[in-house]
Amino acid sequence: MDANRVKQILSSSADIAVEYNGVSVWIDQLNEDGRTATVHLRGPLEERSTVEIAELREV
């Protein structure tokens, strides 16, 4: 995924399915470097991780 698509997803009111390593995640923010994003798993646990946006996949 690229930075522009991450920005579009963040600004959208739609529920857009995104996966990281096959796991469904929410994107919290695009980080200042433009190459990573902060995400958390969909579900009760809200543990946040920083991941490379190139590894995010829209499903």
In tens, the pLDDT along 38-48 reads 999 987 877 89
Are residues 40 and 28 in contact, defined by beta-carbon separation less than 8 angstroms?
A: yes
- Report the distance separating Cα 42 and Cα 33, nearest Å: 24
Domains and CATH numbers, the chain: 3-58 (2.30.30)
Residue 13 CA, chain-centre distance (Å), reads 15
H-type alpha helices, 1-59:
3-11
* CA angle, residues 35, 17, 39, in degrees to nearest 5: 40
pLDDT of residue 58: 97
- The structure's pTM equals 0.89
pLDDT value of residue 47: 85
Whether residue 55 has pLDDT greater than 90: yes
Chain segment 7-45, per-residue pLDDT in tens = 999 999 999 999 999 999 999 999 999 999 999 998 787
